[in-house]
Amino acid sequence: MKTRFSSITAELISQRKSVHELCRQFTRSPSKGNLKRLKALFHSCGESVFIEYGFHIDYGDSIVIGDRTFINTNCTIVDAAKEAQGNIHIGSDCLIGPNVQLLAVSHDMKPSKRLAKANYADDIIIGNNVWLGGGVIVLAGITIGDNSVVGAGSVVTKNIEANSFYAGNPAVKIRDL
């Protein structure tokens, strides 16, 4: 369910600046210490999670990552502030390819309403043992079922069934796995 919120409050701007600086530090020096500081931002982070350099988030406190998940270079997660209820849940044993974007925040489609600069947050839920190929874009409100694969360059605009291979723009089901 979409939640409306304003991201231009002084508190949220300050929080984003702080988180962005930590992401920049991690990109410049993807050390174990900087990775530990990055993981501490998340609502929860499982064991043996590996994140490559070039990782970008806005807040982090609504992100949950399961065990043994690998996030490749230049992953961008546009997450919402915790109070906006736009959670991102990445299951265990996932493979997130390079340049993947998880976009849990959107804006009004109607031009006159968009002038208010409101944001809308909706959950993104990625099941266990999911592989998102390089350059995949996942939009707000999407659930990707366990054991699924999304082909490189796909744009996910609708939910993905478990044990399925999807690809394309928009992503469509290619076959069962």
DSSP state at residue 62 = T
Q: Which of 20, 56, 89, 107 is an active site residue?
A: 107
Dist CA 57 CA 80 (whole Å) = 9
C-alpha closest to that of 132 among 115, 145, 118, 117: 145
Q: Report the candidate in 169, 64, 74 with the shortest Cα–Cα distance to residue 123.
A: 64
Beta carbons within 10 angstroms of residue 151's beta carbon: 18
Cα dihedral sign for 156, 159, 165, 169? negative
φ, ψ dihedrals at 60, nearest 5°: 95, -30
Residue bearing tokens 């270079």 = 73
Q: 107 catalytic, yes or no?
A: yes
Q: Which residues does the annotation mark as catalytic?
A: 107
